[in-house]
Amino acid sequence: MCGIVGYIGNKDVLPILMDGLKRLEYRGYDSAGVAILDEGKIKVIKQVGKIAALETELNGNSTSGKMGIAHTRWATHGEPNQVNAHPHTDESGNIILVHNGIIENYNALKKMLVSKGHTFHTDTDTETVAHLISEFFQNGTSFEEAFRAALNEIDGTYGIAMITKHEPEKIYCARKGSPLVIGVGEGENFVASDASAIIAHTRNVIYLEDGEIAIISREGFVTKTIDNKTVTKRIEKISFDLERIEKAGYPHFMLKEIHEQPDTVADAMRGRLIEEEGVAKLGGLTPILHNVLRARKIFITACGTSYHAGLVGEYMLEQYCRVPVEVEYASEFRYRDPIIEDDNLVVVITQSGETADTLAALREAKRKGTTVMGLVNVVGSSIARETHGGTYIHAGPEIGVASTKAFTSQVAALTLLTLMIARTKAMSAEEGRSIVKEMKTLPEKVAQALKTDETVKKIAEEFKEKRNFLYLGRGYNYPVALEGALKLKEISYIHAEGYPAAEMKHGPIALIDEDMPVVVIATRDSTYEKIVSNIEEVKARKGRVIAVVSEGDDKLDKLVDYTIPIPMTRDLLQPIISIIPLQLLAYHIAVLRGCDVDQPRNLAKSVTVE
């Protein structure tokens, strides 16, 4: 949520900042701004709307500045307009900063600062920080002391990058709850909220931890805690390539990411399946292996799409490992004081590794003394670093705000976890081998499912103007119904609800008429006959049914309006295939309705506020 990029070096800063902002735009896009230090003067240029609007504003604005900071915003405090866009400054205009996160006590701080004569110009919480630093600086302290003193007064979360005329050769950075990465170059250094903003320039990074600050200059950087204790940081290498964060000829990142799934599903399993033994091996769990294998209860906690993957995980872990599983939204888990015992396991699932509620849920679980494992996509993210052990899903950077490839990779990784645990319990080697064998066919089956694109496009054309959709599924396909509905509402702004098919009779059936498209996942599995009865119930009320069916199953052809045939697989793996046409359906409907698929209104890729 929101994006930060900053640079200090000997190159023209503006193109570096603008390129970084474009790569971060998926994190926030209601306004953007830059601050550049040029010949002792700081120029601030901001604009409401997308980065392209800022670019237009910057046209003809020449600068030879070699250092600066920039921000793309997802509004929390104050409406998205030019004044509220970052960067924000203190009274004198000498202290300029960009901020991700929320300053929770900004009202109290603002009151205090106003009483001391500060005048505020924006509705943001961020402006308070600039004034606060200047307040401490007036008291005759060094600039660094003022910076640290101000941070000590702040409750809430922040990732901050700040420049100041008082020390024109430095960028001050700080992190608490909102990620910041320092990019280490030669004669130049970078700061960003996300490595994708700087990977075109350097692969050497350090990740700041909560409570740490970094002061970067052309020649190097200093890292310490806000209490002034020096910390030595390890330089890490970013492993993904630039191509992975570009569109590669696709009109949208979302479509590119949908089509990457044969590869990303393969990547999630790569090197982790041992076919002869019918088992999976997850190296990242080694330090906590005993607790993972022997957990007497498993909690899965996550948000959004990751939560839906967690629901699939619940079904498979209970079925094959015979261990009770509870899946809960992280926002609920963190506050409701769940009963967690020492011999339980908490699994946090997150694509970004930065979701504020998930991070807080993880910390709450650790506080209660239980083992916490992560299922994370972004390497080096906060959640990846704070868990006791974990598994990367290796889906590569996901830029489209609507999560697609992360879901299938999360489900694949959950299957690996299930296999690993189940084989130490009742699952036979033969059963394990059969699952492993089937898992190896998944990339090909996903590729096959992507071939439904043309059929799905036609369906999208017919239904694109509908105002409501219902998605139904049973068993393993129930979470798929939830995820399909989420995809549609996220990017097309059509109201959509997912339901367990049988539950339809307890409410949603009242909505069904000839105007109501009902998407039913009716693949051939143990619940097939039951779901056919549910389809009959919809048709009896003149509902329009789009059924995702198993290839070769023509039984439903006459009953429903459209069928989308997809390859069959074992029940626990079916969600990886069934979700594909639903992702495509949401995509095509949104495109046909003229929606901005990669940057849907009001949503952010990484939700770092609670």
Active-site residues, by number, are 2, 605
523 touching ligand G6P, by CB under 6 A:
no
Q: How far apart are CA 364 and CA 299, in angstroms?
A: 12
CB neighbours of residue 430 within 10 Å: 9
Nearest residue (CB) to ligand G6P, 68 versus 159: 159
* Segment interacting with ligand G6P (CB under 6 A) among 63-71, 400-408, 477-485, 550-558: 400-408
* Segment interacting with ligand G6P (CB under 6 A) among 73-81, 168-176, 401-409, 505-513: 401-409
Strand order in the sheet with 297-302: 325-329, 297-302, 344-350, 371-376, 389-392
379 touching ligand G6P, by CB under 6 A:
no
Nearest residue (CB) to ligand G6P, 309 versus 518: 309
CA atoms within 13 A on the CB side of 198: 30
- Can you point out the beta strands (E) in 272-418? 273-274, 279-280, 297-302, 325-329, 344-350, 371-376, 389-392
CB neighbours of residue 610 within 10 Å: 17
And the tokens for 215? 């002061």
Nearest approach in angstroms of CB 378 to ligand G6P is 8
How far apart, in Å, are the Cα atoms of 276 and each of 56, 413, 573? Answer: 60, 19, 20
100 touching ligand G6P, by CB under 6 A:
no
DSSP conformational letter for 351:
S
CB neighbours of residue 95 within 10 Å: 28
3-state helix, strand, coil in the chain (%, to 5): 40, 25, 35
Nearest approach in angstroms of CB 303 to ligand G6P is 4
Residues 284-303 that bind ligand G6P (CB under 6 A): 303
Nearest residue (CB) to ligand G6P, 179 versus 543: 179
Three-class DSSP category at 237: strand
Residues 328-367 that bind ligand G6P (CB under 6 A): 350-352, 355, 358
Nearest approach in angstroms of CB 442 to ligand G6P is 21
Residues 472-511 that bind ligand G6P (CB under 6 A): none
* Segment interacting with ligand G6P (CB under 6 A) among 32-40, 198-206, 477-485, 601-609: 601-609
Nearest residue (CB) to ligand G6P, 212 versus 398: 398
Nearest approach in angstroms of CB 350 to ligand G6P is 3
Selected from 371, 403, 527, 574, the binder of ligand G6P by CB under 6 A is 403
Nearest residue (CB) to ligand G6P, 304 versus 479: 304
Nearest approach in angstroms of CB 406 to ligand G6P is 6
304 touching ligand G6P, by CB under 6 A:
yes
Nearest residue (CB) to ligand G6P, 143 versus 587: 587
605 touching ligand G6P, by CB under 6 A:
yes
Q: How far apart are CA 314 and CA 324, in angstroms?
A: 8
Nearest approach in angstroms of CB 400 to ligand G6P is 9
**CA proximity to 262, closest of 21, 516, 450, 22:** 450
User: What number of residues does the chain have?
Assistant: 610
401 touching ligand G6P, by CB under 6 A:
yes
The count of residues interacting with ligand G6P (CB under 6 A) is 16
Q: How far apart are CA 51 and CA 62, in angstroms?
A: 17
Nearest approach in angstroms of CB 606 to ligand G6P is 6
305 touching ligand G6P, by CB under 6 A:
yes
Q: Which residue has the tokens 């479509």?
A: 255
- Can you point out the beta strands (E) in 430-512? 468-473, 495-500
Q: Which helix (H) or strand (E) segment is 538 a member of?
A: helix 528-540
Residue type at 25?
Answer: E
Q: Which residue has the tokens 């390890």?
A: 234
Q: How far apart are CA 169 and CA 125, in angstroms?
A: 27
Nearest residue (CB) to ligand G6P, 358 versus 477: 358
Nearest residue (CB) to ligand G6P, 178 versus 358: 358
Nearest approach in angstroms of CB 603 to ligand G6P is 5
122 touching ligand G6P, by CB under 6 A:
no
Nearest approach in angstroms of CB 63 to ligand G6P is 34
Nearest residue (CB) to ligand G6P, 303 versus 564: 303
Q: Which residue has the tokens 């498993």?
A: 298
Selected from 412, 450, 535, 607, the binder of ligand G6P by CB under 6 A is 607
567 touching ligand G6P, by CB under 6 A:
no
Q: Inter-axis angle of helices 405-422 and 574-592, to 10 degrees?
A: 170
Distance separating the N- and C-terminal Cα atoms of the chain: 11
Chain positions contacting ligand G6P, by CB under 6 A? 303-306, 350-352, 355, 358, 401-403, 603, 605-607
